Amino acid sequence: METVKQKSEYNKVFELYVDDDCDALLDLPGLIAYGLYKKQKREIIIALKKENEGKSPSDEEVKTATLIHTTPNQRSVLREQAQELLTVYADEYVNSLEPEIQKEALQNEAIENARAIRQDIKRSNGYVRQVFVGMSSALAWTLLLIIAAIASALFGIDPIEGIQQLLGTTTA
């Protein structure tokens, strides 16, 4: 029966890549850098296994692979790669949303323009009220002219002759 191999010491590589000062979930570049480290370590172990004709690498070989990828320079390189991956992902994500963002912005602009027009109409007492005022004034002038015409006919006043007298021109 196979026994489970117990590790004699705690592997602290995670802490080397992920910043302890902030919540691990917020140190996304550190988490990605740690993932890149694990990927490289796995690739080295697979390569060593091929070299050893299928035999798993020794603990010493695995430890050496780990040490190679935990130097300050290597950690910095993996962290920069992680940051670059995040930047590329963010750019592509924003670019994929750009048409939707533009469409929404145009819709919002159209809605704002419509609201502004509605407010202008409300401020100018409304279209219907303006039409009513125009029609009322036209009706009032029409009634005034009808009353003037009836009055001049009843009192025998010729409005054209009165205008000519005012202007001082008479025709014989």
Q: Comparing C-alpha atoms, which of 123, 129, 20, 18 is closest to residue 75? A: 18
Give the model's pLDDT for residue 144.
92
What pLDDT, on the 0 to 100 scale, is given for residue 1? 40
- When computed from its CA atoms, the radius of gyration of the chain, rounded to whole angstroms, is 46
Please determine, for residue 44, whether its predicted confidence score (pLDDT) is greater than 80.
Answer: yes
Q: What is the pLDDT of residue 66?
A: 80
Given a cut of 70, whether residue 147 has pLDDT beyond it is: yes
> What is the dihedral sign for C-alpha 112, 114, 119, 120?
positive
- For 11, residues 6+ apart whose C-beta sits below 8 A from its C-beta are 66
- The pLDDT value recorded for residue 63 is 84
pLDDT at 170: 64
Could you report the per-residue pLDDT of 80-130, keeping only the tens digit for each?
A: 999 999 999 988 988 888 888 788 877 888 888 888 877 776 676 666 777
Residues 133-141 have a mean pLDDT of: 92
How far is the C-alpha of 19 from the C-alpha of 120, rounded, in Å?
Answer: 57
Cβ-proximal residues to 65 (8 Å cutoff; 6+ apart), any chain? 41, 44, 45, 48, 57
Higher-confidence position of 159 and 144: 144
Domain ranges of the chain: 13-123, 127-167
Whole-angstrom Cα distance, residue 80 to residue 70?
14
CA-CA distance, 109 to 126, in Å (whole number)? 23
In the chain, pLDDT over 90 holds for what percent of residues?
19
pLDDT at 97: 84
Q: Which amino acid is at 14?
A: F
Mean pLDDT score, 71-81: 91
Instruction: Determine the pLDDT at residue 125.
Output: 62
Lowest mean pLDDT among 3-12, 32-41, 95-104, 120-129: 3-12
pTM above 0.85, yes or no: no
Q: Please give the C-alpha separations between residue 83 and each of 31, 76, 86, 94, 122, in angstroms, as whole numbers.
A: 10, 10, 5, 16, 54
